[in-house]
Each structure stands twice: as C-alpha cells, then as structure tokens.
Chains A and B, each alone.
Chain A
Amino acid sequence: MTDKAEGSLLYLDDVSVSFDGFRAINRLSLVLEPGEMRAIIGPNGAGKTTMMDIITGKTRPDTGDVLFDGSVDLTRLDEAAIANLGIGRKFQKPTVFESHSVEDNIALALKARRGAFAALFHRRSSVEQGRIDALLETIRLSEKRDLLAARLSHGQKQWLEIGMLLAQEPRLLLVDEPAAGMTDAETAETAILLKEIARTQSVVVVEHDMTFVRALDVKVTVLHEGSVLAEGSLDAVSSNPKVIEVYLGR
C-alpha cells in the first residue's frame, strides 16, 4: 500500500470512522515501531477505545489504512484472524469468562490451534501446564486458580485479563485502561508488569491515570476528538498549550 508503513509493526494512516454522522475517529494517523511501548491518553470520548476496536476488527473504518507488520491489511480481517496474527487485547471493562475457573481462563487463552476439532481432542500437555503455572505466578493468582473468575475482585480480574493476554503470546498488546479500579499499590505493580512485558513485546496502553503513565516512562500520544493532538514525552505533551487547553480549558 504505502512505503511509509515499511518496518512498522502497526500503521494507521488517515483513518476515519463515524457513528450516525458523529466522527469518533477523525483522520487518525499513528505508527508503532516493533518493540515499542506507547501510552495513549486523552479525555473521555476522545476515541481511544474506538481506535482499538478498529485495530482488532470490531469496527470497520470508513476510510484509511490499518496495516500490521507493514503489509497485512487489518480492515479485511475478522476478530479471530486478527487475534491469530498476534494482536491481543485487554478491554476497558474487564471481561473474563466468569463461569470458568481462573486456571481455565488462562488455559483457553493459551496459544494453541484454535480450530474446533483441535479443541475437541485437545489434551493439556505438561509444557502447557507449565506455561499456565508460570502465568498464574506472574499475575499472582496461583492460589486462586480453582476459583471461578466471577469471584475475583475487580483488580484481580484486570490481572487475570492481562494474564490471558500474555497467554496468547501476542506480538502486539493493546491494553485499555488497565489500572481502572485498582488500588495505588496494584496500579504501581501493573506498571512494573507492563514494562516487563514491553521488553519482549510491543504494547499500546490507554490510560487516564497520569501517575501510571509517568511510571511507564514511554512516548505518549494525546488523542482528542478522534485525532492526534500531540505526541512526545509526557513532559513535552503536558506542557503543550493545546493539550493543557483540552484537559483544563473548554
């Protein structure tokens, strides 16, 4: 499609989408390099979640290019195909499988063949069990492995969802407001966990919590009314007059 996309992991160019005439995403462009971690901030309704919907195939853009790996056109694929390309997503509202145990939630997300017949005859291998145990350790839910996910606290569900995301071994993680509803201590731990993940995978994090974004210490993109308002270090964007106006003014 375009040479500019070459070498990028995720490439959005001039993307727009409207809902009943309302432009939720307005000529949005964004490029993510392989291995990069990016924080996206912006007021409520800025279009952050909608952007993730577009990348993961939930929403089709009206116009614009959305490319993965420099060449794969994501606008032509469905959710499952995009997930299997290696794009994982954590939702703003934590969504885990409530009537499955914590362990089964991880097991379902674990990278494996996704076909119905493969699942029908699937037997959990010791390698897989080891992966599951390690992930449960990482998200500190080993003790709760047999509990129904419905029983977890809000913060624990957020962590379980991050665990499910890791289980998929995606190349790109899209994480929507991971710290929402967490205590300060949990938020700090989440920042550490995400930075840990970012050492091996590319991550896009949407977050409101400025302490959290500061802790991540990565390039920040400010979204406003569906387009990029500013981009740069957190200090640079937070001293940007346009950004100050959006956050404080109006």
Chain B
Amino acid sequence: MITTFLIDSLDRRGRIVVGLLVALALLVPAGNLLVPEGNVFHVSTYQLTLCGKYLTYALLALSVDLVWGYCGILSLGHGAFFALGGYAMGMYLMRQIGTRGVYADPLLPDFMVFLNWKELPWFWQGFDMAWYALLMVVLVPGLLALVFGWLSFRSRVTGVYLSIITQALTYALLLAFFRNDMGFGGNNGLTDFKDILGYPIQAPGTRAALFAASALMLAIGFVIASAVVRSKLGKVLVAIRDAESRTRFIGYRVEHYKLFVWTLSAAMAGIAGALYVPQVGIINPSEFDPAASIEAVIWVAVGGRGTLVGPLIGAVAVNFGKTWFTGVLPEVWLYALGALFVVVTLFLPRGIVGLWDKLVTGRAKPAVEANGAGRQTGEAA
C-alpha cells in the first residue's frame, strides 16, 4: 500500500525532479572521483561539498514549505529543528573521535575534558552508535515539534503569534546552546570530526558519498512531501490554510492535521541538519540564530511557496547568490537578500515557479498547487 501510495504521488514535474536528483547523486560524485582534473566534467571537492550543502538547505526549505506553503503555518523557527538534527549528528561524530582528540580521552570529547568534566553526561550516552544517533536525528526534532505543536495548535495559536513563538523557540535554544554547562560545546559547538561510519570524513570518497546521500535524501523527502500534499490529507491542509474554521465545521480536527504535518516537517529538517554537519565539518549555536530560520523562509518565498519544486530552486538559487555575494561584496549581501524578499513578496507571490508557470504554460497550476494569490482569470466561470 505504501509503495503504490508513494509512486502514484508524483506528477510529471515531480518525476523530473526525482530523476534529476538521482542523476545528480550518481554523476556529481563520478565527476569528482573518476573524471581527471582539468577535464571540463571534473567536479572539484570544493564544488561537490558546496553543492552537497545546498542540497541539505533544499531539504530544509522543502520542510518549511510543507507547513507554510500547504498549511499556512509560517514557521520562523525551523532552523531549530535543523540544528537539533545537526547536533545529534555532531554528537555521533564527536564520539567517533575517540582517543584522537587533543586530550586523548577515550570517552570524553575534548571540550568536556577542558571543562574538567569527569564523566559523560547521560544525554551523550548511546551516541557512539550510529543507529542510535540517526534515530535521535529524527526523534529529537520530531518530539520537540510534537510537544510544541500540541501546545500551540490545541490552544489555537495561529498567524503572526505562532510565527513569533517559533522565533522565541529557536532563540531560547540559541541561548541555551551557547552555555558551556549545557554540555554541547557552548560557543564553539562541535567540530574537529574525524570519521563517519568508520570512514575518514575528509576523504574524497566520503565526501562524495555524503553528497550522494544528500541528493538521495532530498529525493526521498520530495517523494514523501509529494505523497502527503497530493493525498486527501494534503487537501485538508490546503483547506485549513485557506479557511481554517470552515474546515473545523465540516468535522476535521484541525489541530491533528497541523500536528501531523508540523512534526513530519520538523523530522525532515532534522535530517537535513544531520547531512549538513558532516559536510561543513562543524555545528555551533549560530545555526539556532533566528535570522537563519528567516533565511529559510525567504528561500521558499523566492522559489515559490505552495509548490514542491519551488523551495528546492529557491534554496539553491539564493545560496548560490549568497556564496557569490559574500565572495565579491560581503557587506551588501543582507541588503540584497532583504530587497529580494520584498521584490518577491510584492511582484512574485508564487516565486520563480509561479513566474515560470505564467511564462511557459500560460497559466498557473490549478487546485492543490495553487496558492490563492497571483492566479490569472483566464478560465472565467
């Protein structure tokens, strides 16, 4: 049942995206490992890692779109779920270091030895096992989202109030993770990783594998998101987005639907964070910065919210822009990002994908992918 459910879930555009991601997962690592340097098809390790990072951002953007684009929940705190997934992965990577740390303690990561801690805190137990860490990658953000969502959706906190408390959530975590006595490396976070699953983390093969894993996870996330939004549940989500109280009056428990998609989205963001950390080599509290969460929302807006392809395009495009800008004109980047957001909000309510639909297919996509705004009046009643 699950397989047909997933396979049926892709429309033509979705099949193209998944096909492209699978091709990327194969070709980019091949271009890095097999094609010799100097050849036009060679992909440098720097490029490979950069693109891998973008793919994890794309997965984060997809998770934001799932709640914002399809259910109207504007989360300004999704960076928190991303970071928690990242920390869970970071803790595993720290414990993989073993005696190769500066203090060569077999059990305690360097920062704990430095703080004069004598034993491993309880919440670091188990993180030496990959399966446990991977479970936590999904479970910790998922459970936090479940509790947070249960409390806020049940009391019917919506709109800007909900957005504000999501900001507060990530800000509170930012402050907490900054503290040394929290046991997550404080300000410096977790870094100096050596191995992942027994393979040296800096080795070209490992990096290529991490890239492929990111592309494949994004493809899987895309298929799941697609299955969700095209199901009847997805239609209920859009109904909630457009007319929440109406949805209640036909008998749907709005809070349950929100809780489902919210928790799923948080778990997805956690996985994105877990793939991000080994590729950038560090996780620190700055990932909890409220600004980071807002940036993720901008990616979605730029790409096109309420479409599944949009967030992928937005995340990659904006981050290419960011990489380029911060290389050339670093002080201008934030202004450029702000201006981009304003322009998109005012002129492109459905982002790049909406613009594409308008220019190429001549009309916006109907039904589920539609967004209430920016549609044309071609098909008069």
Contact = CB atoms under 8 A, between A and B. Distances in A.
Contacts of A146: 366
Contact of B250 (A122, A147, A151, A168): A168
Contacts of B246: 91, 95-97
B379 interface: yes
Contact of A79 (B5, B243, B248): B248
Nearest to A115: B256
B248 A80 contact: yes
Q: Give the dominant DSSP class at B's interface.
A: helix
Interface residues of A, number: 40
A152 interface: yes
Interface string A88-130: 1101000111111100100111000011110111100000000
B252 interface: yes
B367 interface: yes
Given A116-B256, A152-B381, A153-B381, A98 B250 contact: no
B257 interface: yes
Contacts of A84: 251
A247 B277 CA distance: 72
Interface stretch (B20-28, B73-81, B84-92, B228-236): B228-236
A56 interface: yes
A108 B381 contact: no
Interface string B248-260: 1111111011011
B371 interface: yes
B61 interface: no
Nearest to A174: B249
Interface string B215-239: 0000000000000100111011011
Contacts of B380: 151
A109 B381 CA distance: 22
B239 A147 contact: no
Interface string B265-280: 0000000000000000
A151 B233 contact: no
A186 to B, nearest CB: 14
A144 interface: yes
Nearest to A86: B251
Interface in B170-190: none
B209 to A, nearest CB: 32
B128 interface: no
Contacts of A122: 231-233
Contacts, number: 108
A150 B249 contact: no
Contacts of A180: none
Contacts of B233: 116, 119-120, 122
A120 to B, nearest CB: 4
A83 B250 contact: yes
A230 interface: no
A99 B228 contact: no
Contacts of B372: 98-99, 150
Contacts of A96: 243, 246
A119 B232 contact: yes
Given A120-B228, A146-B366, A100 B248 contact: no
A120 B231 contact: yes
Interface residues of B, number: 36
Contacts of A79: 245, 248-249
A58 to B, nearest CB: 7
Contacts of B254: 80
B367 A99 contact: yes
B252 A114 contact: yes
B370 interface: yes
Contacts of A56: 249
Nearest to A120: B233
A104 B234 CA distance: 12
A99 B72 CA distance: 13
Contacts of A80: 248, 251-254
B322 interface: no
Contact of B366 (A91, A101, A152): A101
A156 interface: yes
Nearest to A113: B251
A108 B236 contact: yes
A148 B372 CA distance: 10
Contacts of A54: none
Contacts of B242: 97-100
A164 interface: yes
B375 interface: yes
A235 interface: no
Given A83-B249, A98-B372, A168-B251, A108 B231 contact: no
Contacts of B1: 121
A62 interface: no
B249 A89 contact: yes
Contact of B238 (A100, A150, A152): A100
Given A83-B249, A107-B232, A148-B366, 20 more contacts: A80-B248, A97-B246, A98-B242, A98-B372, A99-B367, A99-B368, A99-B371, A100-B235, A104-B367, A108-B232, A109-B250, A114-B251, A116-B253, A117-B260, A119-B231, A120-B228, A121-B231, A150-B375, A151-B379, A168-B250
15 contacts: A56-B249, A95-B243, A97-B239, A98-B242, A98-B372, A99-B238, A100-B242, A100-B367, A107-B235, A108-B235, A108-B236, A116-B257, A148-B370, A151-B377, A168-B251
Interface of B: 1, 5, 228, 231-233, 235-236, 238-239, 242-243, 245-246, 248-254, 256-257, 259-260, 366-368, 370-372, 375, 377, 379-381
* Across the A-B interface, the 4 shortest Cβ-Cβ residue pairs: A83-B251, A79-B248, A119-B233, A122-B232
